[in-house]
Chain A
Amino acid sequence: MELVLELRGLVKEFPGQRAVDGVSLSLARGGFYSLLGPSGCGKTTTLRMIGGFENPDAGEVVLAGNVVNGLKPYQRDVSTVFQSYALFPHLTALRNVEFGLRERGLKDCTARAMRALEMVRLADKRDRRPSELSGGEKQRVALARSLVLEPKLLLLDEPLAALDPKLRREMRAELKAMQRKTGITFLLVTHDQEEALSLSDYVAVMNKGRIEQFGTPEEVYLRPATKFVAGFLGTMNWFGKTGVRPESTRLSRTGEGLAAKVESSLFLGNCINVNVVLEDGSRVVAAMGLEHNNFHEGEAVWLHWLPSDELHFQ
């Protein structure tokens, strides 16, 4: 397995807080990886250290076998897609994509930039300025601008956060397709668990400057290593130290299980979310099939689940 990136005990401190607290991570070539965590967990700072915009206080950034600590952004073979896209407003779409090629003194800049624009289906918008492009188009130009350089590693900082939900889902599919087509290693930073789970081959879940779990989307969702991971990825019903996913939580009128009272029943299109209150006052949600759209507010119900669906934490 060829490693594109290796982080060894990365630490970054800002006045008053330790933003990144000993992050170690290995990325194999050609994979789609995510750093997932709540805002302030250190994921963006980690990305900025890989890109060369911040210097780590301790630890090493190893790119394709070479320690790149201290190298400037323009000396590293990585490229970043910024959250704000950071397209140059005075240049057309084509000139934006050409920019990096020209700075590197490469040949056939215009032809290569055109091919990159064609890949993101924006060849006809080549002469538009960023202000004349829609959000999704800007996003695709930013992507083309980085991909045209064929970097070893593409860093994406919350690239879909500024798009509306429908467009976000479309761009998600496009990102994944682009990664598979180019074979370039992608490292995506996001706070959106759905985005991380659906796109990634591997997800690193971060909290308070540390990686809590690194694994495939199935692993981190179905077998969360810590209580934080379990709670951050999807919804979790807590019964003391035992967690049960809403889709594994069943309701019945048989009188067996944990007694509860229905608070509300929400129709979500693809499922029904029934919110219930236990006798001790804690709230639990059960995600059920559409055929269960018959629970009434105030109705007495009983909760049960399979022992194999229980998740235990210390």
Chain B
Amino acid sequence: MKQRGLAVYAFCALAFLHLPLLILVAFSFNANRFTVWEGFSLRWYQAALSDPQLAAGLLNSLIIAGIAGVLSTIIGTLAAYGMWRRAAPVLSGTLYLSLVTPEIVTGVSLLALFQGVFRFLHLHLGLWTVIIAHVAFSIAYVTLVLSARLRGYDRSLEEAALDLGASPWHAFTRVTLPVLAPAIAAAGLLALVVSFDDYVITSLVAGVDSETLPMVIYAMARRGVSPVVNAVSALIVVGFSVIILISQRLQNQ
């Protein structure tokens, strides 16, 4: 009896979380433009895949997420390693601060910074300002994942490497990095997702030529509910699910 109650509760909680997504996916296959079921159709997917604006946004998003993901993974990994080597409570505190800072505040402050610097250097907002912003907020996620992994990392592994004749650099590259590799990959995928996903900060620091996919979707949604948005969203959900599943598996290795 108790078991069944728990199962019902779990089902309701999951439904609350994921029912909207299921409805979205269902209507993305609806032949009708409105929320009345007419029949199965792939026309919105065809429309989405042939939309030049969406394609441009997707390309921008992939470039940004790719570059920002790699950069923040490198910086975040080194930061986590450094903080592990010597306990740095203040430094790790500031990382948590960057996680809880409202995005709008981060976005506005970055915009202020860019504008202040640009006045001297005669530069403009563009793809690369978005990349810098994304690196800035993704580092915290990477560091968090790797710090958790390093907490269980046996310090004597590096000592053993040094003991066997490895230089500190070799101890890091030949022992610590390979052991951490799955966690680094997981953190990198997380950074990729976080970057791809961001709207608020991106919309503030993006230039006119650097609209990302979320910005394009947002603009489309504001012009009126289009089933094309449903189709694109469904594709994103599926893509992200795969990435998160891979990331989870890697973290558990």
Contact = CB atoms under 8 A, between A and B. Distances in A.
B109 interface: no
Given A53-B159, A82-B156, A82-B159, A89 B179 contact: yes
Contact of A104 (B159, B160, B165): B165
Interface of A is mostly: loop
Contact of B160 (A72, A78, A80): A80
Given A80-B160, A82-B156, A82-B160, A103 B179 contact: no
Nearest to A80: B163
A99 B161 contact: yes
Interface in A132-150: 145-146, 149
Contacts of B157: 86, 88-89
A88 B165 contact: no
Interface string B16-30: 000000000000000
A101 to B, nearest CB: 9
Interface string B166-206: 11001000110011010000000000000000000000000
A145 B164 contact: yes
B179 A74 contact: no
Given A82-B156, A103-B170, A88 B163 contact: no
Contacts of A72: 162
B232 to A, nearest CB: 40
Interface residues of B, number: 18
Nearest to A88: B175
A181 interface: no
Interface string A64-108: 000000001110001110111011111000000001100110000
Contact of B163 (A79, A83, A89, A90): A79
Interface of B (DSSP majority class): helix
B87 to A, nearest CB: 14
A149 B156 contact: no
Contacts of B159: 53, 73, 80, 82, 86
Nearest to B167: A74
Interface string B207-251: 000000000000000000000000000000000000000000000
A149 B154 contact: no
A145 B157 CA distance: 13
Contacts of B170: 103
Contacts of B161: 88, 99, 103
B156 A86 contact: yes
Most buried by A among B161, B165, B175: B165
B179 A100 contact: no
Contacts of B156: 82-84, 86
A261 to B, nearest CB: 51
B178 A103 contact: no
A53 B168 CA distance: 12
The 5 closest A-B pairs by CB, nearest first: A100-B164, A86-B160, A103-B165, A86-B156, A73-B162
Given A72-B162, A86-B154, A104-B165, 13 more contacts: A74-B164, A74-B166, A79-B163, A79-B164, A82-B159, A82-B160, A86-B156, A88-B175, A88-B179, A90-B179, A99-B166, A100-B164, A146-B163
12 contacts: A52-B163, A72-B162, A74-B163, A74-B164, A80-B163, A82-B159, A86-B156, A88-B175, A90-B178, A99-B166, A146-B163, A149-B164
